[in-house]
Structure 1
Amino acid sequence: MNRILPVFLALCAFPIVALAQQGTAPAFRPEKIRELDAVITQAIADGKCPGGVLWLEHAGTAYHRAYGSRCVEPTGEPMTEETIFDVASLTKVIATTTAVMLLVEKEQVKLAEKVQTYLPEFTGDGREKITVRQLLTHTSGLRPDLPPGGPPGYEATLDRVFRERPTAAPDTAFRYSDLNFILLGAMVARVSGKPLNEFCAERIFGPLKMSDTLFRPPATLRGRIAPTTRETPRGLVHDPTAQLMGGVAGHAGLFTTVADLARFARMLLGRGSLESVHLLLPETVQLMTTVQSPAALADRRGLGWDIDSRFSGPRGTVFPVGSYGHTGWTGGSLWIDPASETFVIFLSNRNHPTEAGNVIKLWKVIGTLAAEAVGKGGKEDVGGGK
């Protein structure tokens, strides 16, 4: 019964079109929107995820919809657009990268400066050669993550990261690493004098009115939170290292909704501004979202953001190099194309109730169809009203 429920709910869900601006031409090709609905519904039927939420926006017009189930055990719950997701590594770009760049704008952090300048414990055995920029581009030479286990506690876990030895010289290889962003999150806290979660709430989420975006969600929100694995209590971050750190870390721990992420993406398309809020300078957004990794490396990354690497599946086959985005282990993806004023978000809890779910191929198909959906269409186009 639990396998049937997600499909039934997906087929019964009704699409919602919003944010249509007066005078805006039809935004989406209807046949591509139908294909998007179909591939997500099929992925749910195939057990790739219990459900998900899609948000596609182009030039101010959006198509957004919930599919399938938020929870399939111990009882079923329909997915809703208000569902709060553990977005795993999307934390790296939504929270940590943005926080670092706010400090860069204030000249409290310099990209070319050694990490040990801000975290003196991170020195010796080649650590003293690593710069802030190399952490942001995943070219520090650090390995991907800490081994499982270890004593609980923020400081105890951070001390383990401080003692990590680089396994490659800086700027000689691309290696996606949670350790880079654990260090960046700690750096934000040291430099600002506030824990990462407080800094982000005050300087990013509050100003952008991202009211459902936070670390360590309280019990009062538990009913809206998409669960992950059976072993992970609902509302607790899934990532084991973030768990050891108390739920606040630079690499994982953020919870958010699709609507809040849409506000964030709109800010980036606005070159750092959203409505009356000027969060980042246009030059900062340009710097973050253009290639900053060494030219000799095949994987091309911005500061935090993915541009053209082995992890760029959500770009699909149509969005150009020059678009950018990121993914999260729990099943979320965000891809933004400034050239066409388009972004697409897909959030899911693909590892509920187990890690058997997999949306990597789905991300690529969604990215392709989203790009194909944007263009001049006929009178039936979704989003064509005033």
Structure 2
Amino acid sequence: MLNRWLMVLVAVCGAALLSGCATGGSKAVVHDAQVLNGIDVLVRNGFDVLEGQRVGLITNHTGLSREGRSTIELFNEAENLELVTLFSPEHGLKGELDRKVEDSEDPLTGLKVYSLYGKNFKPTPEMLEGLDVLVFDIQDIGTRFYTYIATMGHAMDAAGDAGVKFVVLDRPNPIRGDRVFGPINDVDGKLTAYHPSPLVHGMTVGELAMMFNAERELGADLTVVHMEGWRRDLWFDQTNQVWVNPSPNMRSLTQATLYPGIGLVEACRVSVGRGTDTPFEVFGAPWIEPLSLAARLNSLNLPGVRFVPYRFTPDASKFKGEACGGVQVILTDREAFEPIQTGLSIVRELRLLFGDDFDVDKVNRLLFEEAVLEHVKASQWPEDYRVLWAEPLEAFMAVRAGYLIYE
């Protein structure tokens, strides 16, 4: 009997320790929130804000209620609204495609699905004809260059021009709503830098919609259906919600946390692990020597992260079938982790170690801040980079404060 109780005690303690390790901290995550997404609140309230409306829905496979029912299904069954048209973002309605997406037909409803990641990034007037309201319900991951928020912005712009109402069903920022990092983009990009903001913005899609609408003067008749129970200090695994991969290569909260740093080199001649089991947890290239790179990166003592020499061969995407040297990125403390300092440090070390083999200028295809990149190219120390964006970031934070919904 005693042995059995000892085994139970060991199992419980082991689970607690593993939970603590998974969060990157010294104690286990406390799953203390029961978060209702915008779709859950809308359903509970009898679809009140859509009563009697002809609806176009911008969504994908992440548009789910807490019970796992799709927003498409819920809208299609609702008796007090008419679902007319569907729109899909990058990766398509099912979130499976890593290429431009064609228009299609939804097998559940038989409705037309217009792609907003193909010939058009923005709904055309013809697509919006006969609609009273556009609804947006997609899970974002909290990084500026993830394209879903730009899709929302372009759709709001089109809705404002067409006199069609716009409703956002809000969802959590999975990497928290109180962590903001990085420079402000100095140009607008169609899908990867829609609005001047830091790389990690710490906002929900509903808050971003309010900011886009006001600051860009889009003129949309906007309603945000708020979440209930969400706090800014919550990581996604503290919301008691089911993780659904938002895109084919975003497969865990750890990857979403690392993404704004590791993703900075994705436009370069570097694999970020697409075509492996752990995208954005590894990076490398055939020309990288893993031992020297890992040693240099670890010598910087970057907070919350360590680097392990690693070799891998992607079976898809960049360097498909080629052996790559690189590093595995280990998140040791997600609370301390600073993604942009880490990402720019990686850029700096790749340039110092491997010279012209690393096409450093392509970093700006996602960074969108030439002055910062020039300092990195000049081999300035990583701690100095933050001085470059301190003043613009402070100004952004002042504007951002006016659009925050949640405490």
Report the TM-score range of the alignment, normalised by the length of the smaller protein.
Answer: under 0.3
Determine which structure has more spread, i.e. the larger CA radius of gyration: 2
**TM-score using structure 2 length:** 0.27
**TM-score using structure 1 length:** 0.28
Higher relative contact order (CA 8 A, sep 6+): 1
